[in-house]
Structure 1
Amino acid sequence: MPPFPPCCGLIIVASRQPVPLQGILVDVQVKGFVADVSATLKYKNKEEKAVEAVFVFPMDEDSAVYSFEATIEGKKIIAELQEKEKAHKTYDEAISRGEQAFLLEEDDSSADVFSCSVGNLPPGKEAEVTLKYVRELPVEADGAVRFVLPAILNPRYTPQDHDVSITATRPQVPIGEIPYTLSLNAQFQSVYGIARIESNCNITPLEYTDSDKTGAKVSLAEGHKFERDVELLAYYMDVNKPSVIVEAGLGCTNTAQDSEPSPTGSIMAESMAMLNFYPSFPAGQEQSNCGELIFLVDPSGSMECSMNSEPNAPQRIQSAKETLVLLLKSLPLGCFFNIYGFGSHFEAFFPESVEYTQQSMEAAVKKVNEMDANFGGTEILQPLKKIYQTAGRADHPRQLFVFTDGEVGNTKQVINEVHKNAQKHRCFTFGIGEGASTSLIKGMARAGGGTFEFITGKDRMQPKVLRALKCSLQPTVKDVSLTWTLPPNVEAIVLSKVPTSIFQGQKAIVYAQLKGKVENEGEVCLQYKYKDEMIKNNLRFPLNVQNEERSTIHRLAAKALISELEQSTESDSEEVKKKILETSLQSGVVSNRTAYVGVNKDTKTRVEGPPLRRDVPAPAFMMMSNQYRGSGAYQMMSCSAPLPRMGGRPAGSLPLAKMGAKPPGLALRKKGGRPQELIESFSAPPPQPPPPVPVKPPLLIRLIALQNADGSWNLTPEFSDVLGISESDIKTQNPEQNIEVSVWVTVLAVIWLYTNSLDQREEWELLEGKAVSWVKAKAGPSLGKFVRAGNELLKSSIDMKVFDL
């Protein structure tokens, strides 16, 4: 069934007539591993009355929003960053006076959702709103530097007794009916040279702007509809080099938003360093067979959605199930494991973690194959508490793997729960599908000392999950520290927490403020204990201060500090709140305690009476199964009652009936007041689609499903079907009839993997390691004979080194 994303545009609730968003213009400047983005939204009010346009949209939670301005009736208004309650008051008072005003703020419950309000837009008038932000860019496993402009904002399910997420109340329109386009221009710079740029969307041919290929630009093809996330993958000639960037402080100069100079000692006044480490471990280290691995899987109703908007895209739940089977086949003998499914309730496969054996693996695989997206809403907090309440096992460090599309409304509570139990485990997270909450996925992993991955577009889930499993099986790194060697009278103050978990091949970023006269050279050393060895990563660098007009590194450092404070266990203390507010106001970076507000005090035509509220939704993948038709979070609807605003605005909040229970009718409920019925449905539910036609899994998935827990394969009709060779021929060609046939079959399986799926080796590398270890122990000196006979039968030429020969 096709998804039904809403458009980003002004929606007239009463008449169902959209006021078109004229267009979105985005300019992206990428320098190395940092993006500076300017996004302009153009609106026109085609009604006969003044409107208040409210736009709720997704942002990556690492984004540091540092500028907000609007142009209305030919006048540019630069917004001021204020304490959030003060900003609300400034905005509301301007609206009541009939003046044009606008407001930009971060959602209180999740740092990856923002709201923009443009008030008193006169009839027939146009408005432009521009926001600017900077963010770090991740490096994918294949070396791609990844930039994403998010479009999808899925409704966030909120548990009972919590205010409903602002994302859950937006009107929506089907894909194909979005009337506006997105224009995006991107420029890339890298001292390492740019090999190519790829995208999930149609882009113009790569154009180099420098003869040495250190600069390049691309644009989205003309007429692009903003119905899905836009992803750009830049491949540099080299990405895994450590580096230090030192940016000059503003000192007595002004920030982009402030009228006063930066005071001495403020976060913007001193020089700032951004350190990029690529830690490495000694070669040849074996992975651990110990560990308690717990897989927390989301089979809630939203997992029924497709992975992307492409025709015939697989369901999220199907991809998750295939990945779980692959994980179960890849676990090492001797570990313990369990699997939890969660939604509006949760269930565990076993009463407690069980040892990984053939019997426990078969039982788990059977349960995985029976899973369906029928668990209601996404309530992750309760199963997390249950897992943390369960005693761990001595000598088996706990590793938690979380698979979800991230559609939860109580993000900060969930992250706090992981943080409180960080000493007991490591947490690895996977955001499935477009629109997964970056705040939830990244926040849980950071709080739990693990890694995070996002599986979007045509990404395969399996290689990303297997990379995380390999990280989890690496021995735990201890005693991580950072030491500096700097010129006299120069002091380094680390603003972002030094990473407590370090993994092979994973970049680690640290921000530090440098106080004093920065000159000559400096050195920094990241050291940690790996097993019994103390490893040092030294980075010597010239203290060449860069004068950057936009203060990019300072704003990224401020965002890192703000995020760390907001996610700390003391985030509710007055001292931490004061520090967040102070850092935000000094740097101009939005936090959950501040908001940008601007007022046009020279409004030419003042508005009499309150403006009409018009909500501007962002696209979201929707599903309309019976499981969700009773849920306010996932129905496609609109309403005439006022919708909630962020930051405790006076419009009230929306409690949501618990998933699984039948609510007495959808209602907006003001605190202390009676429910107001939602009086109008924006879109009637479509008829149920016919059941999907069963599709035979790929040969690789079928072969993996046949492997035993010890790494071996048995000769079965299913195995011979995968190889395309009869059972009798396989038996006849066995070069050692006196050795159990499973040895011969396992050798054939390994050779088949190398011959037919070498490009997917990252997915089967761990289970191949088990197979080779098993076959070496069983075949003894006859192993070479098995390999030569296998190559002949499968018409292959696999090197003997594959089997350590």
Structure 2
Amino acid sequence: MKTAIAWLLLCASLLSNAVQASTDSPETGMFLLRSDDGSWQPALLLNTDMQVQISGPVAEVQIRQSFSNPGGAFAEGRYVLPTSESAAIHAMTLEIGERRINGQIQEREQARKTYQQARDNGQRSGLVEQQRPNLFSTSVANIGAGETISVILSYTELLQPDAGRYSLRLPLTMTPRYNARPQPVDGQQRKPNASSTSPEGPIVASLWRDGPSHQADIQITLDSGFALHEVSSPSHAISSHFDGRRYRVQLLENPVVMDRDFVLNWQLPSEAGNQVAVFTEQVGEDHYALMMLSPAAEPVSRQRQPREVFLILDTSGSMQGERIRQARSSLIHALGRLQPEDRFNVLEFNSEYSMLYREPVPASEDNLSEARSWVAGLPAGGGTEMLPVLRAALTQPNEAGYLRQLIFITDGSVSNEREVLQMIQQRLRQARIFTVGIGASPNSFLLRKAAEVGRGQFTSIDDRSGIEQSMERLFEKLESPVLTHLQLELPEGIDAEIWPQKLPDLYPDQPLLIAVKLNQLPEKVALHGRQPALWEQHLQIPEPQQGNGIARIWARRKIEAAMDRLNEGAGEDEVRDLVLPVALEHQLMSRFTSFVAVEEQPVRAADEPLDSQRVPNLNPVDHRLYPQTSLGLNGLWALALALLLAGLLVLNWKPRHA
């Protein structure tokens, strides 16, 4: 009997905890978070204002993050801010009431020491550090009770047009990233490095639809100079007003909950296309230029080469729900574009991977029908182990006469980006990788960089209605010849430092964007390449347009090229020596530089406590959140029910007597 009573008491305790966990927030009307000392404290509130100015292919973005302290003690907030992977963050300001403190760029370790000392001295202070190219951590210390402190970040972003179509993505949250198992190298088990750990911090379910935290107000000015063919958003309902020169874009429900990225698309009219556009900026004695060079619209040759296509589908747990439905639809659409002379195979991966066929098979109607049925029945669950499936696809023997292409459909939610990119770099050979991003908040850095290293293209699927159009654009590239081995020839007397130094391959209707530091602007340039025969085009340079942020774009591209050396096996110290001088000269955030701002006057006495919290991101609207603990609320209910049944069995059990 005592045993049965003990079982029942344990069940009651678990049920009580479960009920309390599910009702604390609604009962109190306040969101609570566990602080670093283990106690529950009123959570810091975070809201964001975003001001965007777009001119040509350049976007200037200002983000104001406001941290409000509803508690009764001084607080420190730490938050992981998702941004565009190509953002050149060049300014940071700490705003306290009407006072503004401009942040200073410092080497990463020195900035951290400056912040920690100011925090411990009771001074209001802020620190912004890069965790990944598209993830930055923001720390704000000594926020007084009832006080709001804002961190203002400014960045410049270069937008890549595609057939006259532009897209701007403003990340507002992120999908939790999977920590992959260490993979053996040359038979030896490798230890995980720091870049393989999850960088995103806590992620929680949506708190309130119209609540006091995690709301974003977005205002966009699009300076097009003429009427556009289309201005739309697949992520949010918007309105746009054209005044004869520029569009003012607003969200119909501003502010919006930060549970999905904001995406804006616009299409230039067909008659607006130019072969060359140049934007210039002078900084001191240095001249910088951004050149947008568009080769001939029609390729020299339309001959179609038979293809060997590997279709790889992410079926991990992060893809559950709407994401796996979009991914399956995308892959099935891709199967429909294969021709009888092509060969193909389908692979799916989560914690493990499997292939539909042992080797690529002809794209016959029977094989395609079998593949569609197989894909339609694939569920989502488990981990996200990318390296084994990539290794399997890239090491398959290549059939002579076929162009090998990998179509990789995923949300990219892994923390081992560097290992994935190194795998592609080392094993790509003659293959090309085309990535397809799925979900409301994909890891665009990994997907875009994997396509770049894989000499392919990145395509984003932002909603189910856009699947067909996005996949059609992708297959137009897959099926068309490309310009390869591109080189830019400048006239004699022009001294120039060009980034990227290795020019990318170009697909039809895709312009070449290069950033240049030079002594003078040339009157003409020449492009040389292969298609597959030798190809050449001479382009006249028009009157340049004055632009802002061109020098920052040049420096950002130079830093990115240096960071890419890590994927090629360069050491950390070697890369640091390349990045640091450029980042400090151009006042740019990088892996080795951070922004820090400190108010001179202390506001917190040494004996007053400081409540330190990690401010969470919201779980994306299309992602099923896994429990942050080993059980989670549903697990507690299930365990409590199981123990209750077990207790009842024990209570009613009567031993049999001989």
Q: TM-score, normalised by structure 1?
A: 0.68
Give SS of 2:40's match.
coil
Q: Determine the structure 1 residue equivalent to 2:647.
A: none
1:446 is matched with which residue? 452
Inter-partner Cα distance in structure 1 for 2:51 and 2:115: 28
> What amino acid does structure 2 have at the position aligned with 1:220?
L
User: In structure 2, what is the equivalent of residue 595 of structure 1?
Assistant: 594
Change (3 A) 1:186 1:177: closer
Q: Tell me, yes or no, if structure 1 residue 19 matches structure 2 residue 23.
A: no
Aligned residues: 589
User: Cα distance 1:194–1:112, how it changes in 2: closer, same or farther (>3 A)?
Assistant: same
Alignment partners' CA distance in 1, 2:288 and 2:601: 39
Partners in 1 of 2:31 and 2:527 — Cα distance?
51
- The aligned amino acid for 1:621 is P
- The answer as to whether partners of 1:565 and 1:571 remain within 8 angstroms in 2 is no
Give the structure-2-normalised TM-score. Answer: 0.82
How far has the Cα of 1:510 moved from its partner?
Answer: 1.1
**2:328 paired with 1:318:** no
Aligned AA (1:66): H
Q: Which one of 371, 374, 382 corresponds to residue 364 of structure 1?
A: 371
Secondary structure at the aligned position of 1:41 is classed as: strand
Q: Contact conserved, 1:10 with 1:616, CA < 8 A, in 2?
A: no
Task: Identify the residue that residue 275 of structure 2 maps to in structure 1.
Answer: 242
For 1:624 and 1:433, the matched residues in 2 are separated by 8
Q: Is the 8 A contact 1:98 1:608 kept in 2?
A: no
What is aligned with 1:802? none
1:470 is displaced (CA, Å) by 2.9
> 3-state DSSP class of the match of 2:541?
strand
Counterparts in 2 of 1:284 and 1:329: CA distance versus 1, 3 Å: farther
Answer with 522-531 or 30-39: which moved more: 522-531
5+ residue gaps, structure 2, are 1-24, 183-191, 639-658
Contact 1:476 1:530 in 2 (8 A): yes
Quote the Cα distance in structure 2 between the aligned partners of 1:103 and 1:233.
Answer: 33
For 2:562, the equivalent position in structure 1 comes to 565
Cross-structure match for 2:396: 390
Q: Does 1:461 align with 2:487?
A: no
Counterparts in 2 of 1:367-378, with a 5 A limit?
367-374=374-381, 376-378=382-384
| Matching residue within 230, 243, 248 for 2:262 | 230
* 1:345 Cα deviation from its structure 2 partner: 1.0
1:543-572 deviations in Å (ceiling 9; x for gaps): x573x5xx4111112112212221231442
Deviation, structure 1 residue 291: 2.1
Aligned partners of 1:273 and 1:512 also within 8 Å: yes
Q: Is the 8 A contact 1:416 1:567 kept in 2?
A: no
Equivalent position of 2:527 in the other structure: 526
Deviation at 1:320, TM superposition (A): 2.0
CA distance in structure 1 between the aligned counterparts of 2:79 and 2:370, rounded to whole angstroms: 48
What is the alpha-carbon distance in structure 2 between the residues aligned to residue 342 and residue 20 of structure 1? 38
CA contact (8 A) 1:59 1:112 kept: yes
Secondary structure of residue in 2 paired with 1:371: coil
Which residue does 1:621 correspond to in 2? 620
Q: Is the 8 A contact 1:289 1:332 kept in 2?
A: no
Q: Residue 539 of structure 2 aligns with which residue?
A: 538
In structure 2, the partner of 1:577 is: 576
Once the two structures are TM-superposed, the CA of residue 432 in structure 1 deviates from its matched residue by 0.4
| CA separation of 1:613 and 1:635: change in aligned 2, threshold 3 A | farther
2:311–2:408 Cα contact (<8 Å) kept: yes
What secondary structure, in the 3-state scheme, does the structure 2 residue paired with 1:94 have? Answer: helix
Aligned match of 1:169 in 202, 206, 218? 202
8 Å CA contact retained: 2:433, 2:457: yes
Q: Alpha-carbon deviation of 1:389?
A: 2.5
Superposition deviation, residue 62 in structure 1: 0.8
C-alpha displacement at 1:174, in angstroms? 4.5
Read off the aligned partner of 1:404 and give its amino acid letter.
Answer: T
| Number of the residue aligned with 2:416 | 410
Equivalent residues of 1:43, 1:127 under 8 A apart: yes
Q: Match for 2:78 among 54, 77, 88?
A: 54
Counterpart for residue 14 of structure 2 = none
- One of 635, 638, 642 as aligned partner of 2:626: 635
- Corresponding residue of 1:182: 216
Output the CA distance in 2 between the equivalents of 1:328 and 1:462.
12
Read off the aligned partner of 2:76 and give its amino acid letter.
E
Q: Is the 8 A contact 2:74 2:604 kept in 1?
A: no
In the TM superposition, what is the alpha-carbon distance from 1:11 to its structure 2 partner? Answer: 5.6
Kept in 2, the 8 Å contact 1:192–1:236? The answer is: no
Change (3 A) 1:58 1:590: same
Give the SS at the match of 1:428: strand
Q: Select the structure with the greater relative contact order (CA < 8 A; seq sep ≥ 6).
A: 2
Counterpart among 287, 294, 301 of residue 278 in structure 1: 294
The alpha-carbon deviation at position 601 of structure 1 amounts to: 2.3
Higher strand fraction: Structure 1 or Structure 2? 2
RMSD value over aligned CA atoms? 2.9
State how far apart, in whole Å, the 2-side matches of 1:239 and 1:574 are.
46
Deviation at 1:52, TM superposition (A): 1.0
Q: Say which is worse superposed, 286-295 or 118-127, in terms of deviation.
A: 286-295
CA distance in 2, matches of 1:284, 1:73: 61
1:288 maps to 304
User: Is 1:554–2:542 an aligned residue pair?
Assistant: no
Give the conservation status (yes or no) of the 8 Å contact 2:204–2:617. no
**For residue 536 of structure 1, what is the amino acid of its counterpart?**
Q
CA contact (8 A) 2:276 2:539 kept: no
> What amino acid is the match of 1:432?
I
> 2:313 is matched with which residue?
297
SS at match of 2:379: coil
- Whether the 8 Å CA contact 2:224–2:247 is kept in 1: the answer is no
For 2:379 and 2:590, how far apart are their aligned partners in 1? 38
Counterpart in the other structure of 1:338: 345
- Residues 201, 419 of structure 1: alpha-carbon distance in 2 compared, 3 angstrom cutoff: same
Aligned counterparts of 2:434 and 2:239: Cα–Cα separation in 1: 36
> What secondary structure, in the 3-state scheme, does the structure 2 residue paired with 1:130 have?
strand
* Match in the other structure for 1:479: 485
Q: 1:348 maps to which residue?
A: 355
The amino acid that maps onto 1:243 is V
